[in-house]
Chains A and B, each alone.
Chain A
Amino acid sequence: QSAPTQPASVSGSLGQSITLSCTGTSSDVGYYKYVSWYQKHPGKVPKLVIYEVSNRPSGVSNRFSGSKSGNTASLTISGLQAEDEADYYCSSYTNSATVVFGGGTKVTVL
């Protein structure tokens, strides 16, 4: 299985909105609605920020939102804050009953 493609890096200024993409195929991202997003700070455990494409876990800021169109899922972070600087990974169920992570995007807050 090939990893969905994520941009290596995305940057934005404080208070700005940014959108991260996760482009897969009809066998993974486009197959079903089981796409999730994780935030990972260096040395820390990954944190779930979006599940099932657009659902936000309890306790996660409403500045995080998710969507999907075809084979591409997106994570939008609005009102960018310093603590949002981290690596972000998408994850998708596949038609082989496995899970695949995207390559990850490093978010830099300017």
Chain B
Amino acid sequence: QVQLQESGPGLVKPSETLSLTCTVSGGSISSGDFYWGWIRQPAGKGLEWIGRVYTSGSTNYNPSLKSRVTISIDTSTNQFSLTLSSVTAADMAEYYCARETYTDYVATWGRGTLVTVSS
């Protein structure tokens, strides 16, 4: 079955850009009607939806993060990516990549990757 794996730096300096990649295995990122998205959870807090990309490249973003977020897809490598600019301590969280269905539930989660923001 489809599996997702996040990768990227676990430590980012304040004001810099966080970049994470999600590698999809067990299936093609181009097949099926799915969105490919990112969700995060700061320590001790709830889940926060960040945004998603479709295979066409069209995107939807959380309005509160929209000015700093870019999610892109590379069908040739079966990967999609998240960049979040101008990070602060508030962006420290466990970041999950996700496969969302067209009825907007997460069918598959990555295992998560912890991102710390510190100088």
Binds B, one of A13-21, A72-80, A91-99: A91-99
Name B residues whose Cβ lies closer than 8 Å to a Cβ of A: 37, 39, 46-49, 51-52, 60-64, 96, 100-101, 103-107, 109-112
The B interface is mostly helix, strand or loop, or mixed, namely strand
Q: Are B63 and A91 within 8 A (Cβ)?
A: no
Residue among B52, B63, B100, B103 with max Cβ neighbours from chain A (10 Å): B103
A-B contact count (CB 8 A): 66
Given A34-B104, A99-B104, A1 and B47 touching (CB < 8 A)? Answer: no
CA distance A91 to B107 in the complex (A): 13
| CA distance in complex: A45, B96 (Å) | 9
- Structural contact, B47 and A34, CB atoms closer than 8 A: no
- A64 near B: Cβ within 8 Å? no
Question: A97 and B60: CB pair below 8 A?
Answer: yes
A102 to B100, CA, bound (A): 17
Decide: A38 near B106, CB < 8 A? Known: A98-B61, A98-B62.
yes
Kindly identify which residue among A40, A51, A103 contacts B103, using a CB–CB cutoff of 8 Å. Answer: A51
Q: Which residue of A lies closest to B62 (CB)?
A: A98
With contacts A45-B96, A45-B111 taken as known, whether A96 is within 8 angstroms of B63 at the C-beta atoms is yes
Bound: A45/B109 CA distance, A: 7
Chain B residues closer than 8 Å to A65, beta-carbon distance: none
